[in-house]
């Protein structure tokens, strides 16, 4: 059972381009979380998705950022018209459905986005 | 507002020494509290997870405690090793139907020989 897979591991984009970050959750996991980590800072919640639904996007900027988790395929975090301030590590975590109080969330290795 | 605060922000200790990291939270209603270890450039890895009824949990040289009344947790590391150098993150989950994880900003631990 492979862990949470994120790709690419490193992504370089010029200002104004689009960035697409992919997250394949662990097998059987239907909950996906995206977090952003700026250099020397902690992880900040962005969005929580279940299959085909956005449950909580309170941490995601209203403009240029969007996320989806389709019925088939990976979850995608999309950043349009990137700016230098978007440079960060983006982590994805997944957890199984209806896991209860002891539900574990497993993290991927992150995608490091650099905007030049 | 649901928040998780950790202290100290950073800590330097010598190899072989013990240390204790603190976590205070205001998340309500509380579901569980986890400690994660994040090596530089890597994703966080779970160390322990504790529910409301548990007040201590060990994982090798790591021992976590939880006081649900005062909403405090600690992570004690015994006989530190160089490989313990990492960020340690306290994460609390609210029992509000969303299972959203609320992260502290972490304690950066450096272990020197």
> Does B56 score more than 90 pLDDT?
yes
Predicted confidence at residue B105, as pLDDT, reads: 84
* pLDDT attached to residue A100: 64
Of A109 and B29, more confident: A109
The residue written with tokens 């992150």 in the block is A110
Q: Between chains, do A91 and B43 touch, taking CB under 8 Å as contact? A: yes
Q: Compare CB distances from B101 to A33, A109, A110 and report the shortest one's residue.
A: A33
CB-based contact, B107 to chain A, within 8 Å: no
| Residue of chain A whose Cα is closest to the Cα of B100 | A48
CB A15 within 8 A of CB A82: yes
HSE-CB for A40 with a 13 A CA cutoff = 2
Q: How confident is the model at residue A99, as a pLDDT?
A: 62
> How confident is the model at residue A25, as a pLDDT?
95
- Band (pLDDT 50/70/90 cuts) for residue B94 is confident
pLDDT over 80 at B106, yes or no? yes
The yes-or-no verdict on residue A48 having pLDDT over 80 is: yes
Q: Indicate the residue of A101, A108, A110 with minimum beta-carbon distance to B51.
A: A101
Are A31 and B99 within 8 A, CB to CB?
yes
pLDDT at A26: 93
- Residue B99 has what pLDDT? 67
**Mean pLDDT on A82-89:** 96
State the Cα–Cα distance between residues B99 and A99, nearest whole angstrom. 10
């Amino acid at each position: 059972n492979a862990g949470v897979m994120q790709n690419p591991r490193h992504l370089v984009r010029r200002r104004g381009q689009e960035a697409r970050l992919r997250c394949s959750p662990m097998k059987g996991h239907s909950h996906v979380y995206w977090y952003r980590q700026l250099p020397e800072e902690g992880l900040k919640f962005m969005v929580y998705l279940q299959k085909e639904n956005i449950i909580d996007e309170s941490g995601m900027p209203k403009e240029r950022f969007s996320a989806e988790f389709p019925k088939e395929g990976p979850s995608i975090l999309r950043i349009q018209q990137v700016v230098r301030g978007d440079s960060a590590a983006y982590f994805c975590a997944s957890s199984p459905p209806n896991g209860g109080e002891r539900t574990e969330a497993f993290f991927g290795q992150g995608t490091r986005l650099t905007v030049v | 507002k649901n928040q998780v605060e950790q202290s100290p922000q950073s800590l330097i200790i010598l190899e072989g020494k013990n240390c204790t990291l603190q976590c205070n939270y205001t998340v309500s209603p509380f579901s569980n509290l986890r400690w994660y270890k994040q090596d530089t450039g890597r994703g966080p890895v779970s160390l322990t997870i504790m529910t409301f009824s548990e007040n201590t949990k060990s994982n090798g040289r790591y021992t976590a405690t939880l006081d649900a009344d005062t909403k405090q947790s600690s992570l004690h590391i015994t006989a530190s090793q160089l490989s313990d150098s990492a960020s340690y993150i306290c994460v609390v989950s609210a029992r509000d139907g969303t299972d959203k994880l609320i992260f502290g900003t972490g304690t950066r631990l450096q272990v020197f020989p």
